[in-house]
Structure 1
Amino acid sequence: MTTTTPAGPDSAPGSGPGPRPAPSKTPGTDNRPARLLAIVLAAQFMALLDVFIVNVAVPTIGAELHASGAELQLVVAGYAITYSVLLITGARLGDLLGHRRVYLTGLALFTTASLACGLAQGTGELIAFRLIQGAGSAVMIPQVLSLIQRNFTGEARGRALGLYAAVLATGAAAGQVAGGVLVSADLFGTGWRPVFLVNVPVGLVLLVLGARVLPRDDTRAPERAHRLDLPGLVLLGAAVSSLTVPLVLGQEEDWPLWSWLSLAAAAVAFALFCAYESRLARRGGTPLIAPRVLRHPGMGLAVFRIMAVMAVNGGFLFVLTLHIQGGLGFSALRAGLTFAPTAVVFGLVGLTWRGWPASWQRALIPAGFALAAVSVAGVGLALRDGHGAGFWLYVAFAGVGTGLALGFSPTLTRALATVRPEDAADASGLLATVTQLGQLIGVAVFGTLFLNRLESLGASGAYTSSDALLVCMFALAATAATGAVSGLVRRRR
């Protein structure tokens, strides 16, 4: 485990300390780094918010559009499916066509699809527009990391990545809060529609500002000449689709045979993808993911830890939502506000950990996972009596936010600290995909555990739901504990 953030290739001997000079201004473009960072992170937050903001609106959508359970599942999951499948492709498109151009295109597609979702008159329309919305996010989101990697160096890059990590994971809890507020407000009698329409004015403002602030693409960059790895794209798309579709739909369909066959096909497709990419790289081609990125020091451990922390995050939010809305009968607003302490603490820790004493830095990641494990179990114990309040519950919520932030933010920042600018697209696509897959796996695995436990108890009510929640919280704590010991295993080797 790295104890300090490496300076990266831009700090090579002779280059001098500190960040590289800001790129010269192009006429009609404002390239000031702070504004660039604000623009890309605002869009990042908006897109991530949309993954979770729909959750608390689902009952209202179902009632108004007369949607079946499977249709509602697709409303929620359709976004995640196209988002996961196309993330790495979006990263490579940015490298080929220019990050500014692809970012603005993805933002325009996302904003247009959000408007269409908010105006949808039927479930089929809403599902189709959610798929397009996820595609827009997949094109836009990888450019955020790439733009940070290419426009910041040294300490400036570390601070930017810290902000990125804070935004990335607070979007989940903030989405639940925002969804509850918007649905309960029922603005102008529009019910669930503002959860989508709120993106439209924000997206339009970001499009206008982005066209002015983002640095213009260098069309002379050598990587622009490389062709898109279409066979690799097909193999990766098949692998991720085969994995994500059963994860998001399996529980709703009671895990039929096709879901297990799809998971097996995903393993085969991933193996074929890895073999093809390695062969392509040996032949001097341009693979979808450069093998050197996967071999980058600490990248494998970072992938494992990010997968673990996001699985805990996704599973925790999902099963707790099921418990407090289904078991405790909380309103959409109260359910959303329940997650506020976790989101606030996560953001604060994500923004400040770099300024903590140097003697603490080595232990931050394992300590964060350990704290998350204890705190997640504490949430289950605080809610085991079938009630929804108490001082220790909020202490545990704060502990979850602190632990997950320390497990996630330093891991992401250190993994990307020495990635070369030309590998920024590959690294951003890989880690963004891992983040999303971690969320999906957490929702699928721990959501299934919670619902199966409820079914086995054969009763309903707050106490039964609390029992199922406690089992899930202990399982989530065990998952967090694996992140705490992962670095120890690596050091021994």
Structure 2
Amino acid sequence: MTTVATHVRPVQRSRTWLLTVILAGQFMAILDVSIVNVAAPTMRADLNASGSALELVISGYTIAYAMLLITGARLGGLSGYRRLFLYGLALFTVASLMCGIAPSATLLIVFRLLQGAGAALMVPQVLSLIQIAFDGAARLKAIGVYAAVISVAAVVGQVLGGLLVTADLFGTSWRPVFLVNVPIGIVLLIVGARLLPKEHMPREQGLDLPGLITLSLAVSLLVVPLVLGHEEDWPLWGWISMGAAVVVFGLFLLAERRARHPLVPGRLLRTPGVTPAAIGIFLVMVTYAGFLFSSALHLQGALGDSPLRAGLLFIPAAALFGLVSLHWKRLPARLHRPLIVTATVVTALAELGLAAVMSDGGHHEVAMELLFALLGAGMAGAFSPMMTVALSHVPPGEAPDASGLMAMMLQLGQVVGVAAFGTLFLSLTPSAHAIGVTSVGLAASALAAGVATLPLLRRR
């Protein structure tokens, strides 16, 4: 039985500061996924990294992030959201420094894993604090800002990465894409230590270590062959590993049914809207991450754009994602749930448009920017309402588990998106049709998200 401590909600000014600090941390964590995309070609040349090493630099962060998010959420419920947020932020900041001075691709991968672990401790506390500190209309508004931060940060990373790599500050090439986190992290640590509330909600729960190990193994068995398969010419061990991932994940589900303190409580999955929304968030992020990664490589590879120009092309996607995330609630309430499915169709159409425009090897800049904007609007129209529906019925006492589940699905989606569609794109390169085929696959992923969220159309 969950025990909820008496919680005195902070005044409006304190809540504003709370939201600012925790979303700044969230912004950095998401930024660090996409900021590396634009720097990837420069990083590959500077470190003489293989294609698989490059994907591990990008995906290693999200692999560690995704595998440890549920644990980070549970630890927040046990030890205090403030404490775990600050611990995670400190680890993230130190790891960013180490990434920025890494002398080899191997060490960079190691430090990216540490970065992901820090983010996994920090990020789940964000939704937990929002669930507890806000209610009613204020909570809906806070979740809207949260969704906008996630989406805008992903695209801002593309732009900022381009600016930093092109600037080549003091001859440091790609390294500022990591070092930029250090001063921001230090400021957030100082401000957060003073402003974040010390309270938390004591819970009669422990840590499911066997479940954590089993789930981590299942994710690793799936993602590692996806990342390395292209470079290794799809060896037999890769197919065996992916098959084993399905078996191990099945064992995880069986074990969770008998676990005393399961990572994902059954009662949470039975909460209306949670399961289809979690699947939908996963598929939307597969689409988004695959789009960002493959498009960045196409722009700088086949089209020969500089990192800066490639990054700037993503601004329309960021702008529309942010605007839709903040304002979709102005639609009549009866349209909120249908918006989710409609938006996935819009996203799929945008991807099919990109397949047609980009596959001839030309630089149709105006058409690309319009389609990027349409894709950003579609993603936001699906993601923000999904998150709101998923959390609307979750009681505050289960906020840590809910935030951990949604954040895990979000990050797993990014891992699979980069691994699967990055591998598809690299496998077809240098064919002119590489981006076209990849975009068609991304359209299918967006439509699958729409199908998964059809149950959300039923009101309860």
| TM class by smaller structure | over 0.9
Q: In 1, distance between residues paired with 2:319 and 2:184? A: 22
Instruction: Tell whether the 8 Å contact from 2:294 to 2:435 is kept in structure 1 after alignment.
Output: yes
Between 71-80 and 346-355, report the one with greater CA deviation. Answer: 71-80
1:64 to 46, 59, 82: 46
1:81-480 equivalences under 5 Å are 81-218=63-200, 221-223=201-203, 226-280=205-259, 285-454=260-429, 460=430, 464-465=431-432, 467-480=433-446
Give the superposed CA RMSD: 2.3
Q: In 1, distance between residues paired with 2:456 and 2:129? A: 31
Instruction: State the 1:489 CA deviation.
Output: 6.3
Q: In 2, distance between residues paired with 1:413 and 1:489? A: 15
436 and 359 in structure 1: CA distance in 2 versus 1, 3 angstrom threshold: same
Whichever residue aligns with residue 193 of structure 1, its letter is R
Instruction: State the 1:138 CA deviation.
Output: 0.9
Instruction: State the 1:435 CA deviation.
Output: 1.0
Q: In 2, distance between residues paired with 1:83 and 1:328? A: 32
> What secondary structure sits across from 1:208 in the alignment?
helix
Instruction: State the 1:385 CA deviation.
Output: 3.5
Deviations 1:131-156 (A, max 9, x none): 11111011111111111111111111
Q: In 1, distance between residues paired with 2:417 and 2:210? A: 30
- Which residue of the partner structure matches residue 14 of structure 2? 32
Whichever residue aligns with residue 9 of structure 2, its letter is A
Instruction: State the 1:391 CA deviation.
Output: 3.1
2:29 to 44, 47, 51: 47
Instruction: Tell whether the 8 Å contact from 1:157 to 1:417 is kept in structure 2 after alignment.
Output: no
Instruction: Tell whether the 8 Å contact from 2:31 to 2:154 is kept in structure 1 after alignment.
Output: yes
485 and 127 in structure 1: CA distance in 2 versus 1, 3 angstrom threshold: closer
Q: In 2, distance between residues paired with 1:75 and 1:417? A: 36
Whichever residue aligns with residue 212 of structure 1, its letter is R
Between 287-296 and 390-399, report the one with greater CA deviation. Answer: 390-399
Q: In 1, distance between residues paired with 2:457 and 2:48? A: 55
Structure 2 unaligned spans of 5+? none
Whichever residue aligns with residue 240 of structure 1, its letter is V
Between 369-378 and 73-82, report the one with greater CA deviation. Answer: 73-82
Instruction: State the 1:487 CA deviation.
Output: 4.4
Instruction: State the 1:120 CA deviation.
Output: 2.1
Instruction: Tell whether the 8 Å contact from 1:167 to 1:347 is kept in structure 2 after alignment.
Output: yes
Whichever residue aligns with residue 334 of structure 1, its letter is R
Instruction: State the 1:40 CA deviation.
Output: 0.6
Structure 1 unaligned spans of 5+? 1-9, 11-19, 25-29, 455-459
- Normalised TM-score (structure 1): 0.86
Deviations 1:425-461 (A, max 9, x none): 111111111111112222233333333444xxxxx4x
Q: In 1, distance between residues paired with 2:126 and 2:46? A: 36
Instruction: State the 1:293 CA deviation.
Output: 0.8
Whichever residue aligns with residue 124 of structure 1, its letter is T
Equivalences, count: 454
Deviations 1:117-171 (A, max 9, x none): 1122333332221111111011111111111111111111111111111222232
Between 62-71 and 43-52, report the one with greater CA deviation. Answer: 62-71
Q: In 2, distance between residues paired with 1:266 and 1:178? A: 36
> Is 1:22–2:19 an aligned residue pair?
no
Deviations 1:178-231 (A, max 9, x none): 11110001112211111111000100111111111211134xx441x5332222
Instruction: Tell whether the 8 Å contact from 2:59 to 2:418 is kept in structure 1 after alignment.
Output: no
- Which residue of the partner structure matches residue 57 of structure 2? 75
Between 146-155 and 78-87, report the one with greater CA deviation. Answer: 78-87
Whichever residue aligns with residue 244 of structure 1, its letter is V
- Normalised TM-score (structure 2): 0.92
Larger Rg belongs to: 1
Instruction: State the 1:361 CA deviation.
Output: 2.4
451 and 120 in structure 1: CA distance in 2 versus 1, 3 angstrom threshold: closer
> What secondary structure sits across from 2:364 in the alignment?
coil
Q: In 2, distance between residues paired with 1:295 and 1:468? A: 41
Whichever residue aligns with residue 82 of structure 1, its letter is A
Q: In 1, distance between residues paired with 2:343 and 2:64? A: 31
Q: In 2, distance between residues paired with 1:58 and 1:186? A: 14
Instruction: Tell whether the 8 Å contact from 1:49 to 1:175 is kept in structure 2 after alignment.
Output: yes
- Which residue of the partner structure matches residue 16 of structure 1? none
Whichever residue aligns with residue 473 of structure 1, its letter is S
Q: In 2, distance between residues paired with 1:193 and 1:389? A: 31
Deviations 1:13-42 (A, max 9, x none): xxxxxxx96248xxxxx9711110111111
Whichever residue aligns with residue 270 of structure 1, its letter is F
Whichever residue aligns with residue 260 of structure 1, its letter is W
181 and 261 in structure 1: CA distance in 2 versus 1, 3 angstrom threshold: same
Instruction: State the 1:388 CA deviation.
Output: 1.4
